[in-house]
Amino acid sequence: METDSNKCNSNTSIKHDQERSEEFVQMFNTVKEGKATIFQPKSVFYNPVQEFNRDLTIAVISHFAREHFESLKITQEKRNLHSKPPSEETVDNQERQNHEIPDILKAGVRYENGLRILEGLAASGLRSIRFGMEIPGVKEVISNDFDQSAVEIIRKNIQNNNLQSIVHENYGDAAMVMYQNKGFKDRFDVIDLDPYGSASHFFDAAVQAVSEGGLLCITCTDAAVLCGNAGETCYAKYGAMSLHAKYCHEMGLRILLQCIESHANRYSRYIEPLLSVSVDFYMRVFVKVFTGQGKVKRSVSKMAMVYNCTGCGSFVLQRLGQTIPTKGGNFKYSPATGPPVGERCDHCGFKHQFGGPIWAEAIHNVDFISKVINNVRATPKQFGTAKRIEGVLSVMTEELPVPLYYITDELSSILHCTSPTLLQIRSAILNAGYKVSLSHAAKNSNKTDAPNHVIWDIMRAWVKDHPIHERHLKPGTPSAVILAKEPTINVNFDIHPEANPKSRQQGLVRWQQNPEPDWGPKSRAKKTDDENSQMLDKRQRNQGHRKRKAEQTENGPDKKLIGEFDHEEDEGQNINRTDPLTVKERT
Ligand SMILES: C[S@@+](CC[C@H](N)C(=O)[O-])C[C@H]1O[C@@H](n2cnc3c(N)ncnc32)[C@H](O)[C@@H]1O
Ligand SMILES: [Zn+2]
C-alpha cells in the first residue's frame, strides 16, 4: 500500500534522479562520433585523433561480418544437400528467425548467429557502442574495462544509445576475461585490444580466446619501441630486436606480427594478416587466427632476421627456417643456411647491425582490403575519415609483398647528392627490370625486388649526372667507397609508364594531414581530486626513494635504472613520425 511518506519518498527520489541526471549531463562532455553520442568525463580516456583507428576497425569488422555470414550460408547449403531439412512444423518459429541467414545485414539489430565481439579495453565504450550501431550482423559486444568509473560510464552510454540488447558492459581485467572465455563454445569472433602503449601482455590470452578463423584487432602505441628507440625493451616486450632504420615503421609492424604468431604457435594456432597499418603514433594489425599443427610447422620459415648496414643502410634478410616441398604434397623442414652477408657490407665496407626476428611474409590481404575500400566508397558518409581510409588502404593494395623499403632521400643523403624524384627513381628501377611500390608507412619509400647492388648502381648513375663536391668523398666513408665503383647495369631514368602509382594519380589522401593541437598518444586519463591526493601522498612517501636507491649502488647513480623507473609507463609512446620521415613526397 502506498503511504504518504512513501509517496513523498518516491517523489523525492524522482526529483533526485532528475537532478542526478542533469548533474550527470553537466559534468560530462558529450562526444559524437559515427552514429554514437557518448558521455565523456575527463577521468575516462578519449583520444579524438583515434577516430581513424575506430572508423577503420568498423570498416574491417563489417566486411569480416559479411564473410562470416557468407560462410554460414555455404555451410548451411552443404548441410541441406546432405540431409533432409526438418519440416516446417518441427522448427520453432522464433528459433528459425533468429538463426536465419539474411541476404541483407542490418546494423543495430541482434543476430543470434552473428559476431560476438569483445572490446577488452573500452574506456567510455565509444568504440563498442559504434560497433553495436554501425556493424551489421552482430550478436553481442562485450565492452570491458578494469576501471569501475569507466564501466559506469559505459553503462550510461549503452542506455543513452538504446543498445541494451546488443552491447553489454563488463568490469574485469581484459586478460582474465579472455582466459575465462577460451573454451571452444565461449570464444569471441572478434577481439579488439586498444591499450595505452604495448598490447603484448594480452597476446597469450587473445590467441586462445578468439574463435577458429576469428579476428584480432590490436593496437600498440609504443611505436618508438617497435621502431628501434629501445631495442632491448622491444625484445623484452615482443621477443625481437627492433632497429632504428629508415624502414623501421614497417619493421615494427612485422615484429608485432611475429610476436602474435609465436604466441599463437604455442597453442597449435597461426595467424593470417588481413591488414597491418602504421600511421600517426601507433601500429594496428588485423589478423585472423586458425588452428593446424601442420601449418604451425611452417611458422619458423615465415620469420627472418635483418642485417642492416651501419654505413649505407643496405639491408638483407635471413630466414630462420626452410620449408621444402617433398613427394605427395608434403613438406620437410630444416634450418636455413647463411649468413647472407659477409662480415662487412659489400657496398660500403661498414659492419652490420642484427635485428629481428620479423614476420617476413605478406602483411596485408589485398583481396580483403580491396573489398573494404569498395564498401567505404559505397557509403562515403558513414565515416568521418573515409577519405583517409580510402587513401591509406589504396596504397596498401599497391604495396609489393617484399619486406621493408629504401627511402629515396636517405640514399641521397648517404651519397651527399640531390635526390631523384619519385618518378625518376621508380622509373630507373622499373627500366632495370624490377618491381617497385610505395609503402603506406613512409613517404618516398621504395619497396622493391631489386637487389641492393642495383639500387646503388642507380644512385651511382644519378651522381654521374648530378656530381657532388669532392669534400664528400673522404676516404673510408660510405659515399667514397660506394662511388669508387662503376655501375654494372645500364641505368635509364626515362619516365616509365608504370612509375606513377594509381593512388597518387587519383590524388588520394595517403599520408597524415597536418597534426592538430594535442596530436599524439594520450597518457592515462586524469585522476579525480581524491585519486590525485592519494597519488600525492604516495609521491611524498617516495620522495628521495630513487635517489637513496641510486646512492646505495657502488658506482653512484645508475641513470638507466632511474630512467626505467621514471618512464616505464610512457616509454615508447613518444614517436615522432617525422623522424625518419620528415620528407615531403618528391615529384
Ligand atoms: C587507450 S584506452 C581505450 C580506448 C578505447 N578503446 C577507445 O577507442 O576509445 C585504455 C583503457 O584500457 C583500460 N585498461 C587498461 N588495462 C586494462 C586491463 N588490463 N583490463 C581492462 N581494462 C584495462 C583503461 O582503464 C582505459 O580505460
Ligand atoms: Zn653498407
Q: How far apart are CA 277 and CA 50, in angstroms?
A: 13
- Is residue 57 domain-resident? no
Classify burial at 321, counting beta carbons within 10 Å of its beta carbon; exposed 0-12, middle 13-18, buried 19 or more. Answer: middle
Cβ contact 145:153 at 8 Å: no
State in Å: Cα 391 to ligand 1 middle: 29
State the pLDDT at residue 1.
37
Pocket-testing residue among 29, 45, 193, ligand 1, by greatest number of atoms within 8 A of Cβ: 45
- Is residue 126 domain-resident? no
Segments in the chain below pLDDT 70: 1-26, 84-100, 513-519, 523, 525-587
User: Residue 455: nearest ligand to its CA?
Assistant: 2
- Is residue 481 domain-resident? yes
State in Å: Cα 454 to ligand 2 middle: 13
Q: Rg for the chain (alpha carbons), in Å?
A: 27
Q: At what angle do helices 452-465 and 408-415 cross, to 10 degrees?
A: 60
- Is residue 497 domain-resident? yes
Residue nearest atom 25 of ligand 1, based on CA coordinates? 147
> Which residues span the domain enclosing 437?
373-505
- Is residue 66 domain-resident? no
Cβ contact 164:158 at 8 Å: yes
Question: Closest ligand 1 atom to the C-alpha of 196?
Answer: 1
Residue nearest atom 27 of ligand 1, based on CA coordinates? 123
C-alpha 525: how far from its chain's center? 22
Question: Closest ligand 1 atom to the C-alpha of 174?
Answer: 20
Q: How far apart are CA 264 and CA 270, in angstroms?
A: 5
State in Å: Cα 302 to ligand 1 middle: 32
State the pLDDT at residue 44.
78
Classify burial at 264, counting beta carbons within 10 Å of its beta carbon; exposed 0-12, middle 13-18, buried 19 or more. Answer: buried
User: Residue 313: nearest ligand to its CA?
Assistant: 2
Q: How far apart are CA 50 and CA 187, in angstroms?
A: 27
Q: How far apart are CA 478 and CA 463, in angstroms?
A: 14
Place of cell 620522495: 543
Sign of the four-CA dihedral 414, 417, 418, 424:
negative
Ligand 1 site residues (CB inside 6 A) read 45-46, 50, 54, 120-123, 126-127, 144-147, 150, 173-174, 194-196
- Is residue 331 domain-resident? no
State in Å: Cα 315 to ligand 2 middle: 8
Q: How far apart are CA 274 and CA 208, in angstroms?
A: 19
Residue nearest atom 22 of ligand 1, based on CA coordinates? 145
Residue 192: closest CA among 285, 256, 263, 258: 285
State in Å: Cα 142 to ligand 2 middle: 51
Helices (H), 311-433: 366-378, 386-398, 408-415, 422-431
Q: How far apart are CA 366 and CA 211, in angstroms?
A: 23
pLDDT tens sequence across 50-100? 999 999 999 999 999 999 999 988 887 777 777 765 555 444 444 444 466
Predicted ipTM of the assembly:
0.98
User: Residue 125: nearest ligand to its CA?
Assistant: 1
- Is residue 456 domain-resident? yes
User: Residue 120: nearest ligand to its CA?
Assistant: 1
Cell numbers given for 431: 627500366
Question: Closest ligand 1 atom to the C-alpha of 147?
Answer: 25
Q: Residue 3: how many CB atoms within 10 A of its CB?
A: 8
Q: What letter would DSSP give residue 49?
A: G
State in Å: Cα 65 to ligand 1 middle: 24
Q: How far apart are CA 518 and CA 204, in angstroms?
A: 33
Cell numbers given for 132: 553495436
Sign of the four-CA dihedral 236, 241, 244, 250:
negative
- Is residue 416 domain-resident? yes
CATH (domain of 447): 3.30.56.70
What type of residue is 504?
A: R
Residue 445: closest CA among 278, 573, 240, 309: 278
Pocket-testing residue among 121, 152, 153, 531, ligand 1, by greatest number of atoms within 8 A of Cβ: 121
State in Å: Cα 202 to ligand 1 middle: 12
Q: Residue 310: how many CB atoms within 10 A of its CB?
A: 13
Task: Assign 399 to helix, strand or coil.
Answer: coil
Residue 498: closest CA among 564, 434, 585, 562: 434
Counted domains in the chain: 1
State the pLDDT at residue 84.
60
Cβ contact 223:572 at 8 Å: yes
Q: How far apart are CA 346 and CA 344, in angstroms?
A: 6
State in Å: Cα 350 to ligand 1 middle: 45
Cβ contact 131:119 at 8 Å: yes
Dihedrals φ, ψ of 147, to 5°? -110, 115
